[in-house]
Structure 1
Amino acid sequence: MKKTLLLLCLVAAPAFAGEGKWTPQQVLELSPAWLKAQGLKLPPNKLWDPKRGTGLLAGTVNTGGCSGSFISATGLIITNHHCAFGIIQEHSSPQRDLITGGFLAKAGAEELPGKGSRVQVPRAFTDVTAKINAAVPPGADDLARYKAVDRKQKELVAECEKRPATRCQVATFDGGVNYTLVDAVELQDVRLVYAPPRAVGEYGGEEDNWSWPRHTGDFAIIRAYTAPDGSSAAYSEKNVPYKAEFFFPLSTQGVKPGDFVMVLGYPGMTYRTLLADEMAERQARYYPRIRDVLGEAISLLEAAGEKDPAGKIAVASQLKSLHNVYKNAGGQLAGMRRGQLVEKQRAAEDAVVGWAQKGGAKWSDALKARDALLTEQQASAKTFERDFLLGVSGRLAQGPALATRVARLSMERAKPDLERRPEYMDRELPRIKDSLERAQKNLFPAADKALLHAFVKRAQALRPDERIQAVDTHFGKSYVEKDVTAKIDALYANTKVLTQAERMKMAGETPAQLTARKDPLLAFGMDLAKDQAALDEVRDRRQGAASRLRPAWRAAVMAQAGKPIAPDANSTLRVSFGKVQGYTPRDGAVYLPQTTLTGMLQKHTGEEPFNAPPKLRATAEAKKFGPWVDPRLKDVPVDFLSDADTTGGNSGSPTVNGKGELVGVNFDRVWENVANDFGYNPDVARNVNVDVRYLLWNLDQVEDADALLRELNVRKGSPVVKEAR
């Protein structure tokens, strides 16, 4: 976004309070006086110093799909329980069920390494818009345009990553108004330090998910390690805790209603810049299909898991992810209807069109771009069902997903590195191999077969012009239950894709070598990979068209608004400002902004999902609150609300006060705010945070985690970190 547009923040900022996910650069353009009036005690340049390319915001890390933050100079990172779930699951078994019982390392030697777990520490942000645009040849069609932009992004990333332990990306803002090179240090050795029992970390389960009031202790603590010389290194017993320059001290005083807070993190994707018709398709087709397809998958996984304790652990991570997406889709639909978001977007869009028409020739390109975007959207709608099912296939049966990934890797590796799909470039190989290895823990053939059967049945019901060729080839064009069952049984009985050692060998083989294996599941995966590659090319052309058209339209939108419009979330570092406050979800109901330990006990039923662990319950019932009692509440606070602007990816985000102290950890939004992805509504825009005092109460009164509390400087005595040996 151009600086002239950003400077509008100086006069407009007070008008929209909590709205906006601001980049580090944008924070420096906001009025210091306004920020101070909101409650910021620090100079804005303490948050981010562009000359150094760092600041307090660098204490916020990307954990891969989630956020986290350093809370000590010794590499301790706090994030959500659900964000650390992969490490917890990795080390769990029926004999040592850390998912159910939780985990606390008493010393560094006990900390559990996470296979493939990484954290990225932000280092610099550089505007590369001119370089990207200059890379597009004059007269390039949309596919050529996409390929030119894609190649230039890869070249910039490759140059950036010449330094050791560096992870870079080119982030796109407003569809191509701005391109920014994001530079981060990647730490490769991440270990689990503390995770509460599942009945704390997921208290309320899916029943309470996306809801309020909440009583969930969705927190976990991990630690980043480096080589002894401070450089990033893979796991080794010789590694030492990372020395964090910036971290957030824990506020033992917590928060109260009306307090100023900031939520820092890596929000994934929002869709506020879509055209009204694009939003309407998500409402009418995309989210209903998510509910339909993933709802069926959830039922199949749950039914299979109930029959086998080991299988239940194997599907736990996948099931957790599917549940979250499924319920989110329901919230999006309810929120879009309730808030009339499509209608509001259409009205706003019409206002921009009217304004642009009055501007004459100056904005004619913007109007033409909007019309062309609508034409593109209508074209893509013709193959929606096929594209959706093919796109979601990787979330379903793990066996075909692994076979397809091995096949795609083989196909892409035959190309020069800069011509491959970004996810299959050489820089991604360590991650791919980690995931192929880690997948073994998630395999449960009985459940997998059921998921594949459901996928095949859906694919065979597609219209003749929307067929998935791989399904037709391997299962036929018409659904016959016994035939599909028999063919799936044969695939799984005669494959080595599900054997870890063989799968790792496959990851290094050519397409000819894979074909020579005559492995039936692998053969299906190879054909499915070809279908996916063809779909990718169609989507690349559409993306090329969008990068040509959307910037012109967005420039008109921003000019007509006359005030700053924060760019859609795109998994880059952002800051949201807010206040601790409750809300009114419906007529006659008022929700207070804090919940307590006593409220958690009142929910306890002794059955999932409201089955608090006995030790925690006994401690709470005895009112052993320690120093963590809130004097106003006369209780230990558990969760709190604020009106900060968040979305998916903000899970694990540090919620900090005006002095830069951690007061909580973001983990959710309320049900009425799920559709916030399409538009901010200050009346119901509330994010859910676990109060830091609930974490400290658990560590102190329930776990007696003396060494950890001293390391966090909240218990008397020198912090001690015993290094793993």
Structure 2
Amino acid sequence: MRKFIVSLIAAITLVPFSVKADEGMWFLMFIERLNHRDMQKMGLQLTPQEIYSINNHSLKDAIVQFNGGCTAELISKDGLVLTNHHCGYDAIAELSTAEKNHLKNGYWAANRKEELKPSSLFVRFFVRMDDCSKRILSVVNPSMSEADREKAINAEIAKIEKENNEGGKYTVSVRSFFQGNEYYYFVYQDYKDVRLVGTPPESLGKFGGDTDNWEWPRHTADFSMFRIYADANGNPADYSPNNVPLKPKHHLPVNLGGVKENDFAMILGYPGRTNRWMPAGGIEQNVKFAYPAWVEGSKTGMDQMKKYMVQSDALNLIYASKFAGVANYWKNRQGMIDALTKFGTAKSKAAQEAKFNTWANKPANKAKYGNVVATINKYYAMTNEKSRHDNYLTQLFRTSAFGAVGRGLGKQLENYAKADAAKRAEMAPAIMEMAEEMYKELHIPAEKDILAAQLSLYAKKAGYTLAPMVEKMAKENNGDFTKQVNAIFDLSIFTSKDKIKAFLDYPSEAMVANDPLFVLSNDLLSHFSKRSDELAKAQNDFSASFRLLVEGLRESKIGTTLYPDANSTLRLTYGKVRSLPADKRNDATINNYTTLAGQVKKYKKGDLEFDLPAKVLEMNAKKDFGRYADKDGSLHVCFLTDNDITGGNSGSPVLNGKGELIGLAFDGNIEAMAGDVIFDKKLQRTINVDIRYVLWVIENFSGAKHIVDEMTIVK
């Protein structure tokens, strides 16, 4: 183990090691050299090997990536998994019907047989990682184009993945770090039989809705529970009633002691994406061009969905998950605009790059680094308007089920029509399965309005060069796409499952090729991906220069970021329970936690965001908190830490110095929304559900004590 760690540290010995204790998303195997002493001073009582070990069980074995986009943790010896409510939202919605609305009413399986299997859900265990930088970089040279470089790297990656997957037992992923200056491979094991155990009602799991999203004080029971199943030998297996609950190598004990200001807090999870190394021009482009278009496009789609969601529970179920995902990033991007503008982040980055440029143009450095900053800035100047255009179009694809139908179901029907009879017989079941999934998550009247509104916004605001078909339609309709979209839907075979079935029975290449929705979608997709020779060259030069910028910042020690950007690989972040300045909206004694009484004060009967179950009101009035009450007599709901997290950390465990579960990370605060680009040590906070509130909802409110009894409770 010691030899393995030392070999990995060699890749980063040029980096200075003065770092703020609460900043950074760190690889687990680096903590012994880089962070362990700091963590011990702050309250960590575990050894590095108890956090990360290949040969023995450790904390890493209790942490999983949840369905590719969130984090979750094992909290019982029988494979019980805890994650956020919003991470389980898709699965809960899928398993809900208007008659059995688990999303709205909550659900707790009384026994293992009642645990519900969604159609597609998986968790990913991290097995090990290793450095393959020298091997990858040995197949490239500075004279290569970026396309040739990528081709050579991908070929070597394929070899590494094959060498380490043990005949398909493991999933192996080689990832780039520091903008392509380092490479590591990660070995994972996936389990696909994952079943819903329980969820609080949406009134608790999503309390505060979009109004409270990214805000503090917060009072949300943002959690849901699942169970991992395996075959009799503990190996991954497709769903079967004969599968048994997984016996994990490690599960987290649950501590009921609560937290106080300055308590040590450690989070392990899979942060999705940060851009701490982004150049000034990229920040400026996002603030002035890309993000405003993202915000406006998101809001346009949300407004159209909401018109239908309020009409019935059935329609709400259809769009609830998509709406929640769009709304989350709509508010995030507006917060990013505000925070990056307020703190002048682009200006401070530009000052750093000016300093770097001076160093880069010294005689010893000029040949390699002299043109880096100028090349990067030229690229952003060339692509500012295009970034606005692309973000309007991206939100059209994201909110409309038919905007990108040309590359999904449309491409399948096109291939089907060209196939022979034998191939068609093979393809038909998969196409119908795709259609089944697609049509149960859309409502045609809503889809017409979404597409018409997004086309109208795109035509009016995108600038740059519009997709040819949209430009033609806009001239014909004065910017109102409603009639044209209605006509397109009336003539298309893509608007119902029955029409798809009829096409499979009587396929025609001409019918697909001339279908108006297919034609419109392909026009949009083709235009979105189109690149001129000039732009292709600029992108090539930019990619090479960005990689050199990061290399040069590290070499010159001008850069202050010591860790690689997040990229959905397992990271550790550590800090403390830490309050924000006093806030009159919070009834807590110190502004680092919230209470059930504070949640009840927000209650609005019948409100979509702030309604509460009558039982919660009654239990609060009686102070019926049981063993989960804090020593001050109240029931704590959420608390704050200053950990460094981002999207993908949703569902991550918050651990004390002994590695015991004290909370569940689920959000950040809007004041520090620039955190994906620059860490703000004064304002950045992680918002966490207090584990005592989680267990109170399960046991006292929901009556599912048998779930709590599975856990290892530390009082």
Q: Same fold (TM over 0.5)?
A: yes
Shift of 1:662: 0.9
In the other structure, the counterpart of 1:488 is 485
Bigger Cα displacement from structure 2, 171-180 vs 556-565:
556-565
Change (3 A) 1:690 1:175: same
State the Cα distance separating 1:365 from its structure 2 match: 1.9
Question: Does 1:497 pair with 2:501?
Answer: no
Partner of 2:237: 233
Relative to structure 1, the CA distance from residue 593 to residue 464 in structure 2 (aligned partners, 3 Å threshold; closer, same or farther) is closer
C-alpha contact (below 8 Å) 2:230/2:237 kept by paired residues: yes
- Name the residue aligned to 1:605: 604
d(CA) in 1 for partners of 2:133, 2:504: 36
Could you tell me which residue of structure 1 aligns to residue 330 of structure 2? 326
CA displacement, residues 558-598 of structure 1 (integer Å, 9 cap, x when unaligned): 23337661111111111110100112389999971011112
Tell me by how many angstroms 1:309 deviates. 3.5
Partner of 1:622: 622
Q: 2:460·2:479 contact (CA, 8 Å) conserved in 1?
A: no
2:544 is matched with: 548
**Alpha-carbon distance in structure 2 between the residues aligned to 1:588 and 1:208:** 12
Question: Is 1:58–2:61 an aligned residue pair?
Answer: yes
- The aligned counterpart of 2:676 is 677
Describe the shift of the 1:308–1:607 C-alpha distance in structure 2 as closer, same or farther (beyond 3 A). closer
Moved more, 597-606 or 562-571: 562-571
Q: Aligned pair 1:581/2:589, yes or no?
A: no
Counterpart Cα distance in 2 of 1:186 and 1:322 = 28
* SS in structure 1 at match of 2:407: helix
Q: Is the 8 A contact 2:413 2:512 kept in 1?
A: no
SS, match of residue 74 in structure 1: coil
Structure 1 residue 408: deviation in Å?
Answer: 5.5
Q: Is the aligned partner of 1:3 residue 2:9?
A: yes
Work out whether 1:97 is the aligned partner of 2:94.
Answer: no
Aligned to 1:561: 557
What are the equivalent positions in structure 2 for 1:396-435 lying under 5 Å apart? 396-407=399-410
How many Å separate the matches in 1 of 2:364 and 2:475? 53
Letter in 2 for 1:393: L
Is contact 1:53-1:125 (8 Å) kept? no
User: What is the 5 A alignment of 1:126-137?
Assistant: 126-136=130-140
Contiguous gaps of at least 5 residues in structure 1: 415-429, 717-725
Q: Distance in 2 between matches of 1:506 and 1:108?
A: 42
Shift of 1:163: 3.3
Q: Is contact 2:379-2:539 (8 Å) kept?
A: no
Q: Which amino acid aligns with 1:3?
A: I
The residue number in structure 2 matching 1:270 is 274
- Distance in 1, matches of 2:138 and 2:537, equals 19
> Which position in structure 1 is the counterpart of 2:448?
449
Q: Which amino acid aligns with 2:687?
A: V
The SS at the match of 2:86 is coil
What TM-score, normalized to structure 2? 0.88
1:173 to 172, 177, 184: 177
Deviations 1:109-150 (Å, cap 9, x if unpaired)?
111112211111111212222333334477432333334334
What are the within-5 Å matches in structure 2 for residues 299-314 of structure 1? Answer: 299-314=303-318
Specify the code of the residue in structure 2 equivalent to 1:67.
T
Give the CA deviation at 1:47: 1.1
3-state DSSP class of the match of 1:466? coil
CA contact (8 A) 1:10 1:29 kept: no
**1:333–1:162 CA distance, 2 compared to 1 (3 A):** same
One-letter amino acid of the counterpart of residue 181, structure 1: Y
* In structure 2, distance between residues paired with 1:647 and 1:448: 31
Greater shift after overlay, 527-536 or 229-238? 527-536
* In structure 1, C-alpha distance between the alignment counterparts of 2:694 and 2:709, rounded to whole Å: 14
Q: What is the identity, as a one-letter code, of the residue corresponding to 2:200? A: P
CA distance in 1, matches of 2:142, 2:263: 53
1:395 to 2:398 alignment: yes
Which amino acid in 1 is paired with 2:623?
K
Task: Give the deviation of 1:32 after TM superposition.
Answer: 3.1
Per-residue CA shift, 1:331-352, capped at 9, x if unaligned? 1112112222112222222233
Matches of 1:432 and 1:388, distance apart in 2: 30
User: Structure 1 pair 690/504, CA: closer, same or farther in 2 (3 Å)?
Assistant: farther
The structure-2 alpha-carbon separation of the partners of 1:644 and 1:272, relative to structure 1 and needing over 3 Å to count, comes to same
Cα offset for 1:411?
Answer: 8.9
Which has the larger displacement, 266-275 or 537-546?
537-546
Check the 8 A contact 2:8/2:131 in 1, yes or no: no
Query: Residues 225, 393 of structure 1: CA spacing in aligned structure 2 closer, same or farther, 3 A cutoff?
Result: same
Q: Is contact 1:132–1:179 with CA below 8 Å preserved after alignment?
A: yes
Paired letter, 1:550: F
Q: CA deviation at 1:82?
A: 0.5
1:525 aligns with 2:526: no
Query: CA 1:213/1:644 → structure 2, altered by over 3 Å: closer, same or farther?
Result: same
What's 2:653 paired with?
A: 654
Instruction: Pick closer, same or farther for the CA change 1:48–1:399 going to 2, 3 Å.
Output: same
Structure 2: stretches of 5+ with no match in the other structure: 1-6, 418-428
In the alignment, is the contact (CA less than 8 A) between 1:582 and 1:641 conserved in 2? Answer: yes
Aligned to 2:91: 87
Matched residue, 2:592:
593
Residues 137/287 of structure 1: CA separation in 2 closer, same or farther (3 Å cut): same
Structure 2 CA distance, aligned partners of 1:406 and 1:381? Answer: 32
Let me know the Cα RMSD of the aligned residues: 3.5
Is contact 1:116–1:435 with CA below 8 Å preserved after alignment?
no
> 1:383 — aligned with what?
386
Report the Cα distance in structure 1 between the residues aligned to 2:533 and 2:705, rounded to whole angstroms. Answer: 56
Q: Does 1:12 align with 2:18?
A: yes
- AA aligned opposite 1:567: P
Deviation at 1:174, TM superposition (A): 1.6
Distance (whole Å) between structure 2 residues aligned to residue 394 and residue 448 of structure 1: 12
Shift of residue 377, structure 1, vs aligned partner: 2.0
More displaced, 346-355 or 72-81? Answer: 346-355
Query: Is the CA contact (8 Å cut-off) linking 1:169 and 1:183 kept in structure 2?
Result: yes
Alpha-carbon distance in 2 for matches of 1:536, 1:125: 39
Shift of 1:441: 3.1
- Are the counterparts in 2 of residues 61 and 67 from structure 1 also a CA contact under 8 Å? yes
- CA positional deviation for 1:295: 1.1
CA 1:565–1:670 in 2, change beyond 3 Å: closer, same or farther?
same
* C-alpha separation in 2, matches of 1:43 and 1:508: 64
Q: Deviation at 1:381?
A: 2.4
Partner of 1:40: 44
| Separation of aligned partners in 1, 2:162 and 2:553 | 34
Contact 1:585 1:672 survives alignment (8 Å): no
TM-score by length of 1: 0.87
SS at the partner of 2:257?
A: coil
The residue number in structure 2 matching 1:373 is 376
In 2, Cα distance between equivalents of 1:12 and 1:592: 30
